[in-house]
Amino acid sequence: MTSVSTNLEDLSWIPRPRLLALRRLGIETAQDLVTHFPRRHEDRTEFPQFPREETDAAICLCGEVIKTSVRRFGGWKKIFEATVEESQPNALSEPLVCRWFNLHYVQKMIATGQRIVVFGKPRLRGKRICMDHPEFEVIENDEEMSIHFRRITPIYPATEGLSQRVLRGIIYRVLQEATDTGWEPIVPSTLVRGERSDAIRAIHFPESWEGRDAAREHLVLSEFFAMQMLIASRRFESTARAGQAHCGSGALLNKFLKALPFKLTAAQEKVITEIRHDLAASYPMNRLLQGDVGSGKTVVAIAATLLAVEAGYQAAFMAPTQILAEQHYELLRRWLEPLGIRVALRTAARQEESGPLPLFAPQAPGSARVSRAGDGVAPSQTSLEADRPNGARYFRRRLPHFEKPWAIYAVTIGTKKNRCLSPEARTTVLNSLRHFHKTRYEMFAACVMPDHVHLLIQPWPKGDDDKANTAFWPLSELLHSIKSFSAHAINEIEEKRGPLWEKERFDRYIRSGRDLEEKFHYILRNPWDAGVAKQNEDYRWIWTQDDEGRNESSFRRDAETSTRGACATQPDEPQIIVGTHALLYENVSFSNLGLAVIDEQHKFGVAQRARLTAREPAPDVLVMTATPIPRTLTMTIYGDLDVSTIDEMPRNRGKIVTAVRDTSKLGEVLSFLRTELEKGRQLYVIYPLIDESDKLDVKAAAAEYELWRERLHPFRCELLHGRIPAPEKQQIMDRFRRGDTNALISTTVLEVGVDVPNAAIMLIENAERFGLAQLHQLRGRVGRGEHKSYCILLSSNQTKETSAKLAVLEGTTNGFEVAEADWDLRGPGDVLGTAQSGLPALKIGNLKRDAELMRRARAAAMSIFAMDPRLEQSENQHFRCLIVEQQGQSFSHIS
Ligand code: ADP
Ligand code: MG
């Protein structure tokens, strides 16, 4: 009998090659198979008559192949054509020509006399009706007709090595044979109608379109419910953690508000009340503050810090870039020092726009070990001999050209003459590596093999040397320290002399999150893949941050310092510390941290946030974002945070007019700019740079700048880009703020948070190169004062997509509307990676289309947790599997 948990291998009727193809899709059990949901359905109950016109919608037709032919073009390229005729043609019937370009296999599958079903858009080509690259299926025998035809037929996501009909046939048979047991519902019956088993059958082979829709709703609700249970549990976990109240009486806040040159908007007041409530509670606050650019989030954040400071705690205020940190610092000093509050700025002076690469989500303890076995990445050889081709790669020296801030490197160091390291020596090496971890670099993973070492490290800033830009530890220096430190110790143990390490090493700059993850797993699997350790056997000289966690060093240290500081902030210590990410890496920053404000949250990685919240007792955390995200996404990506929204702009704002102009109209645009400059307004010119570190781009920036100086002569321009040293950047911004400069020619360094009310015009060059969200962000730099403001989007590439995109901005200045439109244009995946949220990918639900279902699922999950947060009641116990099995870890430390 087939049940849900049956392994497909045990079904003798599935041929082995098919099993392998299924496995490549991650399908191993009956359960996996039947939750491989159709991508769409085709109405094959009745086939329409063959069209005589072209149509925009794809249609599904059935007919007989009456002719096939192959034509060549452009040398070796081939077009295969199959002419299909309607089953019962009449005098007016037109045959349909199906064409495939360069698909040799199609030619082998279709022959004259066959009946086939095709799906595609009919197009008029000359006098013929053609379908190019239609999906097709050959009808082989009538017995199978009932599965594949004469019904609403499921079409599955395309799969290599498995045709639609084979896959459909297997799913059909498994569903036929499956018993009704084992389909235990994992959704409360109040949320869905009917049985899960029926819904699954109906999603594959529906009786009617209504039946399909009902089944889909059932399954989407189940899926969303599972997701929301996970989110609810994270949320519960974080509120259950030890926290403290960090809320003063509010006297200080009132003093501050009285001194403000404006009145708070109702939305700002509402949000402050929400935050105040959280600060006063003993559980840690985890709140997201969203509000459009210019809606006044900073004032709200300051209000929150004042409440914490008044209660005797320190507050941290973090911004994603140096410029912003310095701007915040200026503002805080201006507003708060009169109130007698000590504000400090702590940044390792550096250029930094991109920030560190996103880290992989923290591994569950032990889970790294599971993934160590397996394939995908070739193992390194343990014995490195210079004359062996694949060993040689470790001897090729590939030094990165420059040391990039926050770069992560994968490094391999070999021993001299493949000297074999004894177990003690390996331990010594590992200890040396750990010695510098979190002082000179952050280490993500390390593995000491018998004759070489792999590690993944990110050099840290050398210190808070405020002048230099290259304040990071150079990789070469770091490796030198590691080598000499360990060589010395090992030679001492082994009573040997002479060099231990090969001079040459192999290192590589990590380019993306994915790259990092791959390298990470590669390193962790190396002893097994290279055969140094047996499968299922532990290898002691492998290290990840998890291992360190188990050794209880780093966080314990944090815990100690923070309990020591449970009393009020000392009079010589700053009460508010403003900085960039670097704040997270400083060991000495806080004696008594009560509240952390993170501005422009999306620039901070999950791991960075985790670093903050991992402290004991947990500080209250307020994250702010000016990238409004559609509501359904808020319910998932930030589902475990409480959300406050500022949905109202301060009243004194001038209007922003947005206009898209073709580059050919630059002349007119320039004369407009001049009139505005003459009125005393200031101007931003933004141009896109792909990679700021590229030398060429710096040249381009300079050329751009020269050009603009000529165009705007005699108005004063300055150039701002990411490679300008921080102190100089600061001076440029100051001159602009004071009005000494009329126009700022800038890259997107300017993107977030810069606030100069008199800058009322923005011109964005090559606007098509930016995303909608980013354009909206940029536009938010103007319209900050009482003047009427303008945002001109210059674009020379007016494709249909760009026009649609840019038209959104002409149409609205509301960030939420922009975000919704962006979502429409690009699809949910792009807006914000769900990967960042650590949630499983959706199999059937659609975050946008099914927003209402998400809301219902969320309400159901929340109400269960509200009544029974530990899922102890008998009717809730079976929901535990939703939280444990899928994740194997709790999430409180991620968000
Ligand atoms: P954002 O939400 O983009 O961070 P800011 O906090 O930088 O916005 O605020 C933008 C500008 O609006 C600042 O100059 C700030 O002083 C001002 N502002 C904030 N709240 C109000 C208000 N209620 N009335 C008038 N101006 C305000
Ligand atoms: Mg801001």
DSSP codes joined into one string, 447-461:
EE-SSEEEEEEEEPB
Ligand 1 neighbour 755 (Cβ under 6 A): yes
Kindly indicate the confidence band of residue 166, based on its pLDDT and cuts at 50, 70 and 90: confident
Is 659's pLDDT higher than 90?
yes
Among 211-220, 699-708, 715-724, the least confident range: 699-708
Going from the Cα of 781 to the center of ligand 1, the distance in angstroms, rounded, reads: 11
Kindly indicate the confidence band of residue 71, based on its pLDDT and cuts at 50, 70 and 90: confident
- Cis peptide upstream of residue 459 (ω within 30 degrees of 0): no
The ligand minimizing its distance to the Cα of 265 is 1
Determine the Cα–Cα distance for residues 215 and 194; give it in Å rounded to an integer.
9
Q: Which two tokens stand for residue 405?
A: 């801030």
- Cis peptide upstream of residue 714 (ω within 30 degrees of 0): yes
CA of 780, closest atom in ligand 1: 3
Ligand 1 neighbour 650 (Cβ under 6 A): yes
Whether 349 and 466 have beta carbons less than 8 Å apart is answered as yes
Kindly indicate the confidence band of residue 846, based on its pLDDT and cuts at 50, 70 and 90: confident
Q: How far is CA 342 from CA 307, 334, 577, in A?
A: 14, 11, 9
Ligand 1 neighbour 892 (Cβ under 6 A): no
CA angle 237, 238, 239 (to 5 degrees): 95
Q: How many CB atoms lie within 10 A of CB 144?
A: 14
Top pLDDT among 367 and 6 is at 6
The ligand minimizing its distance to the Cα of 294 is 1
Ligand 1 neighbour 262 (Cβ under 6 A): yes
CA of 295, closest atom in ligand 1: 2
CB pairs under 8 A, 24+ apart, for 839-844? 839/227, 839/230, 839/231, 839/636, 839/637, 840/227, 840/230, 840/886, 842/223, 842/227, 843/35, 843/37, 843/223, 844/37, 844/203, 844/216, 844/219, 844/220, 844/223
Among 208-217, 696-705, 725-734, the least confident range: 696-705
pLDDT at 391: 33
Q: How far is CA 194 from CA 171, 198, 861, 875, in A?
A: 21, 7, 19, 18
Determine the Cα–Cα distance for residues 692 and 694; give it in Å rounded to an integer.
5
Is 695's pLDDT higher than 60?
no
Q: Which of 295, 326, 644, 647 to mutate to test the pocket of ligand 1 (most atoms within 8 A of CB)?
A: 295
Determine the Cα–Cα distance for residues 279 and 248; give it in Å rounded to an integer.
9
Top pLDDT among 736 and 556 is at 736
End-to-end CA gap in the chain: 44
Q: What is the mean pLDDT of the chain?
A: 78
Is 392's pLDDT higher than 60?
no
Among 32-36, 48-52, 581-585, the least confident range: 581-585
Beta bridge partners of 130: 97, 123
Going from the Cα of 262 to the center of ligand 2, the distance in angstroms, rounded, reads: 17
pLDDT at 194: 86
Is 47's pLDDT higher than 70?
yes
Is 280's pLDDT higher than 50?
yes
CA of 297, closest atom in ligand 1: 2
Determine the Cα–Cα distance for residues 749 and 508; give it in Å rounded to an integer.
27
Top pLDDT among 74 and 779 is at 779
Q: How far is CA 413 from CA 279, 402, 512, in A?
A: 49, 20, 22
The ligand minimizing its distance to the Cα of 777 is 1
Ligand 1 neighbour 294 (Cβ under 6 A): yes
Is 352's pLDDT higher than 60?
no
Kindly indicate the confidence band of residue 362, based on its pLDDT and cuts at 50, 70 and 90: very low
Residue owning the nearest CA to atom 23 of ligand 1: 264
Determine the Cα–Cα distance for residues 737 and 746; give it in Å rounded to an integer.
14
Element (H, E) at 741: none
Going from the Cα of 298 to the center of ligand 2, the distance in angstroms, rounded, reads: 6
Average pLDDT rounded to a whole number, residues 82-91: 85
Whether 524 and 374 have beta carbons less than 8 Å apart is answered as no
pLDDT at 585: 60
Among 144-148, 275-279, 547-551, 581-585, the least confident range: 547-551
Whether 409 and 456 have beta carbons less than 8 Å apart is answered as yes
Determine the Cα–Cα distance for residues 445 and 438; give it in Å rounded to an integer.
13
Whether 767 and 660 have beta carbons less than 8 Å apart is answered as yes
Q: Which of 258, 264, 298 to mutate to test the pocket of ligand 1 (most atoms within 8 A of CB)?
A: 298
CA of 263, closest atom in ligand 1: 23
Determine the Cα–Cα distance for residues 303 and 269; give it in Å rounded to an integer.
10
Nearest CA to 329 out of 305, 312, 352 is that of 305
Whether 790 and 668 have beta carbons less than 8 Å apart is answered as no
pLDDT at 368: 31
Among 18-27, 686-695, 759-768, the least confident range: 686-695
Average pLDDT rounded to a whole number, residues 448-459: 89
Residue owning the nearest CA to atom 24 of ligand 1: 650
Going from the Cα of 297 to the center of ligand 1, the distance in angstroms, rounded, reads: 7
Is 402's pLDDT higher than 50?
no
Average pLDDT rounded to a whole number, residues 465-485: 72
Instruction: Please report which residue ranges of 593-725 form alpha helices under DSSP H.
Output: 606-613, 631-637, 666-678, 695-712
pLDDT at 246: 86
Kindly indicate the confidence band of residue 376, based on its pLDDT and cuts at 50, 70 and 90: very low
Q: Which two tokens stand for residue 280?
A: 């006063």
Could you tell me the sign of the dihedral formed by the alpha carbons of 282, 285, 291, 295, in that order? positive
Amino acid present at 229: M
What SS3 class is residue 125? Answer: strand
Determine the Cα–Cα distance for residues 199 and 193; give it in Å rounded to an integer.
9
Going from the Cα of 298 to the center of ligand 1, the distance in angstroms, rounded, reads: 7
Beta bridge partners of 314: 593
CA of 331, closest atom in ligand 1: 16
What SS3 class is residue 159? Answer: coil
Determine the Cα–Cα distance for residues 353 and 748; give it in Å rounded to an integer.
9
Ligand 1 neighbour 295 (Cβ under 6 A): yes
Residue owning the nearest CA to atom 13 of ligand 1: 296
Amino acid present at 83: T
Place of tokens 């998932």: 636
Kindly indicate the confidence band of residue 668, based on its pLDDT and cuts at 50, 70 and 90: very high
Is 673's pLDDT higher than 90?
yes
Model pTM score: 0.58
> pLDDT of 288-309, one tens digit each?
898 887 889 999 999 999 999 9
Average pLDDT rounded to a whole number, residues 72-93: 83
Is 498's pLDDT higher than 90?
no
Ligand 1 neighbour 784 (Cβ under 6 A): yes
Whether 251 and 306 have beta carbons less than 8 Å apart is answered as no
Amino acid present at 434: R
Ligand 1 neighbour 626 (Cβ under 6 A): yes
Q: Which two tokens stand for residue 428?
A: 């010594």
Is 598's pLDDT higher than 70?
yes
Amino acid present at 686: I
Average pLDDT rounded to a whole number, residues 749-775: 82
Q: Which two tokens stand for residue 665?
A: 């109209």
Kindly indicate the confidence band of residue 455, based on its pLDDT and cuts at 50, 70 and 90: very high
Angle between helices 251-259 and 297-310 (to 10 degrees): 150
Is 738's pLDDT higher than 50?
yes
Kindly indicate the confidence band of residue 358, based on its pLDDT and cuts at 50, 70 and 90: very low
Q: Which residues, by Cβ under 5 Å, contact ligand 2, an ion?
A: 753
Kindly indicate the confidence band of residue 661, based on its pLDDT and cuts at 50, 70 and 90: very high
Determine the Cα–Cα distance for residues 591 and 330; give it in Å rounded to an integer.
23
Q: How many CB atoms lie within 10 A of CB 844?
A: 16
Kindly indicate the confidence band of residue 694, based on its pLDDT and cuts at 50, 70 and 90: low
Is 373's pLDDT higher than 50?
no
Residue owning the nearest CA to atom 15 of ligand 1: 296
Determine the Cα–Cα distance for residues 818 and 273; give it in Å rounded to an integer.
28
Element (H, E) at 45: none
Determine the Cα–Cα distance for residues 375 and 373; give it in Å rounded to an integer.
7
Residue owning the nearest CA to atom 26 of ligand 1: 650
Kindly indicate the confidence band of residue 77, based on its pLDDT and cuts at 50, 70 and 90: confident
Beta bridge partners of 804: none
Going from the Cα of 267 to the center of ligand 2, the distance in angstroms, rounded, reads: 16
Whether 275 and 622 have beta carbons less than 8 Å apart is answered as yes
pLDDT at 717: 94
pLDDT at 750: 64
Amino acid present at 126: G
Kindly indicate the confidence band of residue 784, based on its pLDDT and cuts at 50, 70 and 90: confident
pLDDT at 405: 63
Kindly indicate the confidence band of residue 78, based on its pLDDT and cuts at 50, 70 and 90: confident
Determine the Cα–Cα distance for residues 405 and 722; give it in Å rounded to an integer.
12
The ligand minimizing its distance to the Cα of 779 is 1
Going from the Cα of 300 to the center of ligand 1, the distance in angstroms, rounded, reads: 9
Going from the Cα of 762 to the center of ligand 2, the distance in angstroms, rounded, reads: 18
Nearest CA to 447 out of 435, 439, 438, 456 is that of 456
pLDDT at 185: 66
Average pLDDT rounded to a whole number, residues 404-414: 81
Q: Which two tokens stand for residue 332?
A: 């805080």
Q: Which two tokens stand for residue 511?
A: 């380019």
Whether 487 and 499 have beta carbons less than 8 Å apart is answered as yes
Ligand 1 neighbour 785 (Cβ under 6 A): no
pLDDT at 467: 44
The ligand minimizing its distance to the Cα of 298 is 1
Q: How many CA atoms lie within 13 A of 359 on its CB side?
A: 23
Is 676's pLDDT higher than 90?
yes
Is 656's pLDDT higher than 70?
yes
pLDDT at 354: 25
Kindly indicate the confidence band of residue 271, based on its pLDDT and cuts at 50, 70 and 90: very high
Average pLDDT rounded to a whole number, residues 739-745: 93
Average pLDDT rounded to a whole number, residues 196-202: 91
pLDDT at 739: 92
Q: Which two tokens stand for residue 763?
A: 């011109």
CA of 757, closest atom in ligand 1: 14
Is 581's pLDDT higher than 70?
no
Kindly indicate the confidence band of residue 366, based on its pLDDT and cuts at 50, 70 and 90: very low
Q: Which residues contact 292 (CB under 8 A, 6 or more apart)?
A: 626, 628, 646, 649, 780, 814, 815, 816
